[in-house]
Structure 1
Amino acid sequence: MSTQLFDAIDYLAKEKGIDKKILMEALEAALISAYKKNFKSATNVRVELNEDTGKMAVYSRKTIVDEVEDPQQEIPIQEAKEINPNYELDDVVEVEVTPKDFGRIAAQAAKQVVTQRVREAERGVIFSEYSDREDDVMTGIIQRKDPRYVYVHLGKVEAKLPEAEQMPTEEYHVHDRIKVYVTKVENTSKGPQIYISRSHPGLLKRLFEMEVPEIYDGIVEIKSVAREAGDRSKISVHAPDPEIDPVGSCVGQKGQRVQAIVNELKGEKIDIVQWSEDPVVYVSNALSPSKVLTVLVNEEEKSTTVVVPDYQLSLAIGKRGQNARLAAKLTGWKIDIKSETDAREEGLLDEVEETYSDNEESLFE
C-alpha cells in the first residue's frame, strides 16, 4: 500500500482537527471487515499498518488447543509447535494471510471509512464547539425563509428559527444579521442541531449582560425576567452594594444602554424595576409605570391585592391586562388590582388607614 494513504490521513487529521489515532483505528477496523467480507473468512484477524513503508499485512489469529472444534479460530498444539516450539496451550498463533490483490480492496475500504470518520469527527468538533453556547446569544445571518422557518447561518451550521420562536412583530429579511438565543444543542444522526429563539426571555437577559458592564461584572444582578416578545418586557435588577443604582446602570446615560437593546428587539418596550425581598415594595415596583397606594399580602396563598388611585387603574392593569400579567410573572406573586374607590367600598383600606392614623402623612393623601 502506498505511503500516500498515510500522508492523506496525516493531512486530514491536521486540517479537520481530528485525532490521528482515531482515524488509524477506524482504518484497521475497516480493513479487517473488508478482508472477512471479500474472502469469506470467519477467522479472527489482525491488520498491521506500517506508516514508514506504506505496507500492510493481515494476520490470522488462532488459539492453541488440544482438540480443534473450530478450525477458523483454533489450531492444534502439534501444528503450532511446528511453527514455533515455544508455543504452549492457550497461546495465540499469528500467521500472515495477506492476499495478493488486497491492495485494491483495502484502498476502497480506506476511502469509505476515512470519509465516514471525518464526517463523524467534524460533527463531533462542531457539536463540542456549539454545545458551549447553549443559553447564550449568537449572531447569525438569515439565509432563507419559508412559511415555517427562518434559516439562520451561525458560522459552521445552519439553525432553524421556528415560527413559535419568532417575534410576532418582527419581519425577517434574507442577508439580515440578527442575534438569536441558543436554547438547546443536540448531537443527532444528521449532525448537530442548534435550537434558537428570538422570543425567549433568556435573549433579553443575555442582551443586558452584553450591554451593561455592571451586570457582566456581577455588580448588578438580574433577578427575574418576564417577556411578551415584540411588545413589552419587564426585568428586575438588584445591587448588593446600596451605593449602586441598579436601574440607572441598566438605563445608561441618556438611556443609551436600554435603547440599544430596544433597537435590537425592534422597538420592544422594556420596564426596568428594582427588586426587593419585601413583596409590598417588589410588587409596587413591578407595576410600574402606574402608581400604587398599598399592597395587601397573603403569604399563605402567595397572592397580593394592590390598590391604585382610580385614575391609575387602567394603567396598572395595562392593555389587555398586560402590565398586571407581566408583573405577576416577574414577581411570582398573584396580583389582584383594585381601584381606591372599590377598595374602600369593600373595606380593604380600613385596617391600613388605622395603621397610619397616628402618622402626620397618610399613603392616601
Structure 2
Amino acid sequence: MTAPLPRIALSEPDLRGNEAKYLQACVTDNWVSSAGHFIQDFERMIAAKSGTEHAVALCNGTVAIKMALLACGVGPGDAVILPDWTFIASANAVSDTGAKPIFVDVTQDTWSLDPALVAQALAKYPNVKAIVAVHPLGYTCDMDALLDAAGDVPIVEDAAGALGATYGGRLAGGIGRFGCLSFNGNKMITAGAGGAVVTHDAEAAKWLRHVTAQARIGTDYRHDAPAFNYRMSNLNAAVGKAQMERFDEIQAIKHKIGDAYRAVLSTDSRVRLKAMPNPQWGEGNDWLFSVLCETEEVAESLIAHLDYRGIDSRKFWRALSSQPAYKGAEFISAGVAESLSGRVVSLPCSTGLSDDDLSRVTDAVEAFLAA
C-alpha cells in the first residue's frame, strides 16, 4: 500500500540559515533579553530594506502600529482612518491608543485603501489624527494618491507583510511618516515573534527606543515618563538577522511560487478564481499568494478540494465594520470590503516548498478549475 503524501502546510518558517548558530551565540554569551548586538544588527538590516535611516525592533507588529500612532500624537478623543479590509490587529492598535477607528473601504482593483473615500472621511471627521495605510498581501497601496488625499495628516504604513515591496522605486515602510513591520512565523521573514517601527525621523526613533524600554534614565531606577516594556529580545533578533541574510533568496522563491500560481490561474476561462491584484506602480513580494473566488461557496469548495488532497489553504480577512468587536464603529463603505469577505483564499507559499510539492498544489488547483 502506498504511503500517503505528507501534508503541505499553508506557510511555514524557513530556518535553513544561521538561526541555530546565532541562537547558540546568544546562549553562550548570555545575552538573551532586550540587549545584545543582534538587536542592533537586525535593526540596521530592517532599516536598509525599508529605505529608512532608523528601525526600532519591538515585541510584535501590533505594538509597532500602536507606538507609531502615539509618535504621531494620537490619543483619546482622536480618530484614525484605516481600511475596512485588513487584519484586526491594525484596528486593535488604534483602540489601544484610546482613539477610535474609522473604517474606509478599499478599491476593487487593489484591495487597499480607496484614496477618494479617504478624502471624504477627512472632510467628514475633523478629529482624524492619522491614517493607517495597510499594504495587503505583500504589495503596496497607491501611496502618492493617499499622500495627496491626506494633506498634513500623517500616514503610518502597515507593511506587516510587505517587507521588500516597492512603490515607484521606493521601499514599503519608508514612504509615510512611519512604517510598521511584523516578524511573526508566517511573515516574509520571521524572528519567531516581533515587529519594528521604521522611520526617517531621528528624534522619533530616539523617543520610541526610550518609551518602549520603560523610559529609564541611565542605570539608576529613574524614569521620566509613563512607558512600556515592548523591546525585542536578542534571541528574536538573532533569528531575524539570520533570516535577513537570506532575504534575496527568500524573495526569489516567493516570486517563483507566485508565478506558478499565476500561470495556472491564467488558464481559467470561466474566471472562477482570480489572482490577487498586482498593481503596476511597483513590485510586490508575493508574501502570501491568494485568490479571489467567484463566490464564498466556491471558496469553501476550493478549500475542501485542497484539503482532501492533503493541502492546507485558508480564507483571508473579513470586513472589520461587520465584526462584533467593532460593532457601531464609524465606516465609509462602497461595498468592496464586504464583497471580498469570505471569497479570498490563501494558497501554500512556504519558501521550503519543494518543486514536487508546488506541482501538487498547482495540479490540484488546475483540477479544481477543470471540474
Tell me which interval the TM-score lies in, with the shorter structure as reference length: under 0.3
Q: Which has more radius of gyration?
A: 1
Which structure is higher in strand share?
A: 1
